[in-house]
Amino acid sequence: MGGAEIDDLDAVTPFYDDGRGIVIYHGDARDVLPGLVGAEIGLVLTDPPYGVTYQSNYRVGQGSIPITNDGTRLALGLYRQIIPLLKARHVLWFTRWDAWPDVWLLLGQAFPLRGLLVWDKGHNGMGDLSHWGLSYELIASAGYGKTVGGRDGSVLRIKPTPSNARHHPTEKPVELLAYLIQKMGVHTVLDPFAGSGSTLIAARQLGHRAIGIEIEERYCEIAAQRLSQAVLPLEAIS
């Protein structure tokens, strides 16, 4: 990989660019990623569609909102096309218990596998009411990166974003994303399924550069609005 700056990438025109290294592209990651070949990406941190045909009661306008490219066969096909396009030092990929075997197989074809992290959300989520409640999600770790600081445990206990404060039905807490970015000691982050922009917000809070790609225009708009309102890192304020 080269060392091109994000501003120099030969890709589609950004939907949002804060002028400080945070960029959003509106489009399908399969179309945008080939244009990022000159970018030096330290970490891919992403929460893709899990392949469980997820549809929540989260509402934008009227009716519930399904997630684009969700559904088992659609998501698996998407992973097969996306993962070979990822050019990065390390990958942290959110997944579920029933999707991780496919994620593990596909990531292992492109990167050295490093292990699984468990995000303990502290309370039960959706699922079979006659079985143990799902109170966790998995994060597949693959690549060549090394963590910084002490050797932390692989169970991460951080509260999820309250449902009434979410901008996206599967939104991850900025605190969790910031921890993961900081722990990997990277300077440039890529999220090919950026959703409402939480990964980008976490990166900017740490003073890092980040690229987000999002196929749904409404979430690009929400992410841009959130970034416009977010506080800049202290070192960027003069």
- For the stretch 207-234, pLDDT in tens is 999 999 999 999 999 999 999 986 555 4
Would you call 156 helix, strand, or coil by DSSP?
strand
Q: Identify the pLDDT of residue 68.
A: 42
The domain spans of the chain are 6-233
Q: Which two tokens stand for residue 59?
A: 């509402």
Q: Which two tokens stand for residue 70?
A: 């969700």
Strand-strand pairing, 155-157 and 113-120: parallel
Confidence of residue 70 (pLDDT cuts 50, 70, 90): very low
31 Cβ neighbours under 8 A, 6+ residues apart? 12
Tell me how far apart the alpha carbons of residues 70 and 77 are, in angstroms, rounded to a whole number: 10
Domain 6-233 in CATH 3.40.50.150: yes
- For the stretch 84-128, pLDDT in tens is 999 999 999 999 888 888 899 999 999 999 999 999 998 877 667
Q: Identify the pLDDT of residue 185.
A: 96
- For the stretch 148-188, pLDDT in tens is 999 999 999 999 887 787 787 778 999 999 999 999 999 99
Confidence of residue 72 (pLDDT cuts 50, 70, 90): low
* Model pTM above 0.85: no
Q: Which residue has the tokens 């939907």?
A: 15
Would you call 16 helix, strand, or coil by DSSP?
strand
Q: Which residue has the tokens 């989260």?
A: 58
Q: What stretch of H or E contains 56?
A: strand 55-59
